[in-house]
Amino acid sequence: MSYIDLSTTLRDWPYESEKISVRKILGTDGAVRIQMRVELGVVQMEATGRPDGTRPSGRDTLLTYHQERLARHVESNGTALGFSLSPQECYALRLEASLFYRRYVAYFVLEDYDRVVADTEHSLAILDLCRDHGMEQDDRAALEEFRPYIMMMHARGLSYQAMNDGQPASALAHVNRGIMRIRAFVHDQRGAEAVEQCEELRILRGLGRELSAKVPRNSQLVTRKALREAIAHERFEEAARLRDELKNQIGR
């Protein structure tokens, strides 16, 4: 077995503590991979599937494996009641969520917003699965403190994706829906005072102000047009977000 000294790589790509340094590389097998410069070296991640490249129980991700288990349980029993995740299984899912966290942060820096959306949706699905089916209360609650951050990153990914597609009204709708969801969660879990102190809400409100300046003065007309187009093309989730945004505009 031969080992490679990384000194040249690290010298040519110095660590900068004030920013997140990320790049895409082409592997020796021709596959694209993501590298992140950290203080003591380089973290390398697969571009798709699990960031560490493993296939738990032959599946792309551990989440997929447990979702398939849950689906079989529901098919056999007609209900999700009785399905549970052991402390060890919840711990393994938390580790997977931490891997996806590294990658969606990397994709955000790379401005690959489609991948940010996909990876944050994966992380939120892990949170939902542990919350709904963890055997122990500690496991059901362990990841919930991170939900506002993941929801914020998901909203930002959707918003920037919409801006890249030339849809400022949809971008603003994504931000405002994210704000509503985070506000509702924080208020329910931590109380009204925590809502005012929530950093994720502060960031999204700032983004919302930036986007509002880019939406034409007749923003209601723009939003109504985007809503009609979304319905005509059966993009129903987008239509729901645009309806929420239209209500916000009317209420201003």
Q: What is the pLDDT along the chain (252 residues), one digit of tens a residue?
A: 678 888 998 999 999 999 999 999 999 899 999 999 999 999 999 999 999 999 999 999 999 999 999 999 999 999 999 999 999 999 999 999 999 999 999 999 999 999 999 999 999 999 999 999 999 999 999 999 999 999 999 999 999 999 999 888 889 889 988 999 999 999 999 998 999 999 999 999 999 999 888 776 555 666 777 778 778 878 777 788 778 767 766 555
The Cβ of residue 243 has, within 10 Å, a number of other Cβ atoms equal to 16
Asked if residue 38 is part of any domain, the answer here is: no
Q: What does the angle CA 145 – CA 151 – CA 157 come to, to the nearest 5 degrees?
A: 145
Asked if residue 32 is part of any domain, the answer here is: no
Domain of residue 201: give its range. 48-251
The pLDDT value given to residue 217: 54
Number of structural domains found in the chain: 1
Asked if residue 243 is part of any domain, the answer here is: yes
The pLDDT value given to residue 3: 84
What the block records as the tokens of 90 is 């919840």
Q: What does the angle CA 111 – CA 112 – CA 115 come to, to the nearest 5 degrees?
A: 140
The pTM score is 0.84
Asked if residue 17 is part of any domain, the answer here is: no
The pLDDT value given to residue 111: 97
Asked if residue 221 is part of any domain, the answer here is: yes
Asked if residue 8 is part of any domain, the answer here is: no
The pLDDT value given to residue 1: 66
Asked if residue 27 is part of any domain, the answer here is: no
- Cα-flanking dihedrals φ and ψ of residue 135, to 5°? -70, -35
The pLDDT value given to residue 235: 76
The pLDDT value given to residue 75: 97
The pLDDT value given to residue 2: 74
Asked if residue 31 is part of any domain, the answer here is: no
